[in-house]
């Protein structure tokens, strides 16, 4: 399995495309204008506490106040408030928490009005970016993420990632981390810490403590609201969270960013430094790696899959609905149940990819093709769970219902990735109508051709608009030549002036149109 990270830089933002065996599985954008990223810490003021919601609205500098629920305060809120006040006024200049006296924890099921007051200073962390009409969601239970560990101030707990299943390894890591963690701090050990030595863990810990100290120094006389701790740049944070031994390449088209990433990889995995490459061709980097084509064909309401099957993805305010369709495919399976299972398994793989690619969150309902066999339903459920194992967002999958529906909840921390895939209709520019992108049409022609070749037509002729005909026949090798090399069948292509821009039809050897 090959994993590649392709990074495209422009003057305003940076795009990150994660490929798995050449297929796009994750797409992220780092915009200069994004001042409210998950992980950022602000010194802010409580605007007002609302007893009915058991929450407070906090001014973090966004047009809408951030939302802070009582359950996001953290048990050590009184200690945090005391520490923030003393550091802000300059009375406390020792930030290690070693000799800092902790206050009594707040009541687990208490009231917001007992914990916070209007105009009070508070350190808060962004846990969900502004989405749609809502402001950011925040927490006062702070954490600073590193490569191997997450540092939690005002805590005494050492916890190990649940994805590390080996009991001996869990005990080893807990013992090592306990020996190096300073008083007043808790630690969460991440999955990538598995097998690491104490020196590597300690180096990561010292780096996080340095970031904590730098943040505390900014508190004295800081204006409210002010960002006092920013997440590391997107490239480093992505590498921190997803980089592992399976990576085979990191390619970037910006020299400054290239050296930053090279330095970071040298620090976290020196043996992998050589996989970082600077892309210097005149051909755009996303074109070279086939990412633009995948973006155009992967987003939109309808998503094509193998063997003619497709997904229809609908978005509402409350939830996302995904419908699985078998299409007009031919199938050699023995019965309808086998056909349904085959399509459902293909759909589950594509759906897991779509959730990551679009960063869809909240409630997702998937209408799979009905399966009557309980064993097949379990097989589908297990396959979907396996496909979503690599998804970093917290998620929960419920078993299929009697109606063939699978319900999924997936953590939503930033706005969904939404890319426009439709373009102005060149046949009706004045009316302002839209059609799917031409590259999507080429994908459809490809799929139709594969189905027709399987039906063993002796000779095929494709009639299409002159522009599309030119695209298919020009170049070395042309698309038609690639078809010949792959299918060992020559397709005759005839341009038709009367056709609309995205119209095409296949004809057999007798000149009859193939429906």
> Does 61 fall in a domain?
yes
Strand order of the β-sheet with 513-514 is 491-495, 460-464, 504-507, 513-514
Q: Which structural domain range is residue 14 located in?
A: 3-33+234-285
Query: Domain end: 181, 209, 229, which one?
Result: 229
Could you tell me how many helices (H) and strands (E) the chain has, helices first?
A: 13, 27
Q: What is the pLDDT of residues 234-256, one digit of tens each?
A: 677 777 777 777 788 999 998 88
> Does 219 fall in a domain?
yes
Q: What is the pLDDT of residue 11?
A: 63
Q: What is the pLDDT of residues 376-430, one digit of tens each?
A: 999 999 999 999 988 888 899 998 887 779 999 998 777 776 666 666 666 655 5
CATH no. for residue 319? 3.40.630
Residue 316 has a CB neighbour count (10 Å cut-off) of 9
Task: Please give the model's pTM, rounded to 2 decimal places.
Answer: 0.70
Residue 342 has a CB neighbour count (10 Å cut-off) of 19
> Does 295 fall in a domain?
no
d(C-alpha 440, C-alpha 443), whole Å: 5
CA 432 to chain centre: 33
User: Residue 314 carries which DSSP code?
Assistant: E
Q: What is the pLDDT of residue 292?
A: 84
Whether residue 447 sits in one domain with residue 377: no
Q: What is the pLDDT of residue 295?
A: 83
Output the DSSP codes for 419-450: ---EEE-TT-TTTT-EEE-HHHHHHHHHHHHH
Residue 171 sits at φ, ψ, to 5 deg, of -65, -40
Q: Which of 181, 36, 54 is nearest to 113 (CA)?
A: 54
> Does 491 fall in a domain?
yes
Q: What is the pLDDT of residue 329?
A: 53
Whether residue 373 sits in one domain with residue 306: yes
Specify the length of the chain in residues.
515
The DSSP bridge pattern shows strands 149-153 and 144-145 to be antiparallel
Whether residue 449 sits in one domain with residue 304: no
Q: What is the pLDDT of residue 247?
A: 85
> Does 419 fall in a domain?
no
* Residue carrying structure tokens 């149940």: 337
Residue 209 sits at φ, ψ, to 5 deg, of -65, -35
> Does 294 fall in a domain?
no
Which H or E run contains 250? strand 247-252
CATH no. for residue 69? 2.40.50.140
Q: What is the pLDDT of residue 171?
A: 93
> Does 480 fall in a domain?
yes
Q: What is the pLDDT of residue 423?
A: 64
| Residues lower than pLDDT 50 in the chain | none
Whether residue 329 sits in one domain with residue 270: no
Q: What is the pLDDT of residue 159?
A: 93
Number of structural domains (the chain) is 4
Whether residue 432 sits in one domain with residue 399: no
């Amino acid at each position: 399995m090959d994993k590649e990270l392709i990074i495209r830089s422009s003057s305003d933002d940076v795009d990150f495309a994660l490929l798995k065996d050449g297929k796009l599985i994750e797409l992220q954008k780092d915009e200069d204008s994004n001042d409210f990223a998950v992980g950022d810490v602000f010194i802010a003021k409580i605007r007002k506490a609302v007893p009915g919601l058991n929450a407070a609205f906090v001014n973090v500098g966004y047009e809408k106040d951030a939302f802070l629920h009582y359950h996001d305060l953290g048990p050590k809120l009184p200690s945090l408030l005391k520490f923030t006040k003393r550091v802000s006024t300059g009375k406390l200049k020792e930030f290690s928490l070693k000799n800092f006296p902790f206050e009594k924890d707040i009541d687990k099921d208490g009231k917001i009005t007992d914990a916070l007051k209007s105009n009070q200073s508070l350190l808060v962390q962004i846990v969900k970016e502004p989405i749609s009409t809502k402001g950011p969601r925040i927490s006062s239970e702070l954490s600073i993420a590193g490569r191997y560990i997450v540092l939690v101030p005002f805590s005494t707990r050492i916890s190990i990632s649940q994805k590390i299943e080996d009991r001996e390894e869990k005990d080893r890591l807990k013992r090592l981390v306990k020996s190096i963690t300073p008083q007043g701090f808790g630690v969460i050990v991440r999955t990538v810490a598995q097998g690491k030595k104490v020196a590597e863990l300690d180096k990561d810990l010292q780096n996080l403590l340095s970031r904590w100290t730098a943040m505390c120094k900014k508190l004295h006389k800081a204006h409210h609201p002010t960002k006092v701790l920013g997440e590391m740049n997107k490239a480093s944070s992505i590498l921190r969270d997803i980089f592992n031994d399976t990576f085979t390449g990191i390619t970037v088209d910006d020299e400054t960013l290239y050296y930053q990433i090279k330095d970071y990889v040298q620090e976290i995995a020196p043996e992998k430094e050589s996989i970082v490459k600077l892309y210097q061709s005149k051909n755009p980097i996303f074109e070279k790696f086939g990412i633009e084509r995948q973006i155009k064909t992967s987003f939109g309401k309808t998503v094509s899959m193998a063997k003619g099957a497709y997904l229809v993805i609908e978005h509402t305010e409350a939830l996302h609905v995904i419908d699985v369709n078998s299409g007009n495919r031919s199938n050699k399976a023995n019965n309808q149940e086998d056909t349904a299972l085959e399509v459902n398994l293909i759909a589950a793989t594509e759906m897991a990819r779509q959730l990551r690619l679009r960063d869809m969150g909240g409630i997702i309902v998937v209408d799979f093709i009905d399966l009557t066999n309980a064993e097949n339903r379990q097989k589908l459920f297990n396959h979907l769970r396996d496909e979503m194992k690599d998804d970093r967002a917290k998620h929960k999958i419920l078993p299929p219902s009697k109606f063939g529906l699978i319900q999924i909840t997936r953590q939503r921390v930033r706005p969904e990735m939404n890319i426009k895939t439709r373009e102005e209709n060149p046949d009706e520019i004045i009316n302002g109508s839209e059609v799917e992108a031409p590259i999507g049409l080429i994908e459809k022609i490809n799929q139709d051709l594969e189905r027709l070749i399987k039906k063993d037509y002796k000779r095929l002729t494709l009639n299409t608009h002159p522009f599309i005909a030119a695209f298919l026949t020009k170049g070395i090798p042309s698309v038609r030549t690639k078809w010949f090399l792959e299918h060992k069948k020559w397709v005759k292509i005839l341009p038709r002036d009367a056709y609309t821009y995205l119209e095409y039809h296949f004809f057999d050897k007798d000149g009859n149109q193939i429906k």
